[in-house]
Amino acid sequence: MGGVIRRRGGSSSTRTRRRTRQLRILIHETIHALGIGYAEYGRQRAEVIVDTATAIACASVGLRVDGDSIPYIAGWGETGELDAVTAFAKTIDELARRIETVLAAGETAAETVAA
């Protein structure tokens, strides 16, 4: 079995990856809901801003989303939209911090419940 715990519904690591992807998507869509829409920024820029903030926020709590986020963000480079990372760095930072604050509060609450 190679050290992987197998249970009904797939391996533990498969479930963890699936949950991480689901959380990444939820964070991504939450950032859109915070005001980073296509009407305001255009689709390409909005996606670069949102997914860059998502990657930063996820990394801050140890979620490895770089396998999904980096290729997605880099894909927008073909149309020159990566300039949005520099042009909207302050916005990206503010959005990532807002999400990080919520995620950190959730970790603290989970630790309290577990204790």
* Mean pLDDT of the region 81-86: 88
- Is 3 within the bounds of a domain? no
- Is 4 within the bounds of a domain? no
DSSP state of 10: E
- Is 110 within the bounds of a domain? yes
pTM for the whole thing?
0.80
Question: What would the pLDDT profile of 28-49 be if each residue is shown by its tens digit?
Answer: 999 999 999 999 999 999 999 9
- Is 102 within the bounds of a domain? yes
Split into its structural domains, the chain has a count of 1
- Is 51 within the bounds of a domain? yes
- Is 1 within the bounds of a domain? no
Q: In this predicted structure, what is the pLDDT of residue 8? A: 55
Residue 77: give the domain boundaries.
Answer: 9-114
More confident residue, 107 or 17: 17
- Is 2 within the bounds of a domain? no
Question: What would the pLDDT profile of 10-22 be if each residue is shown by its tens digit?
Answer: 567 888 888 889 9
Strands (E), the chain: 6-7, 10-11
Q: Which two tokens stand for residue 70?
A: 């980096």
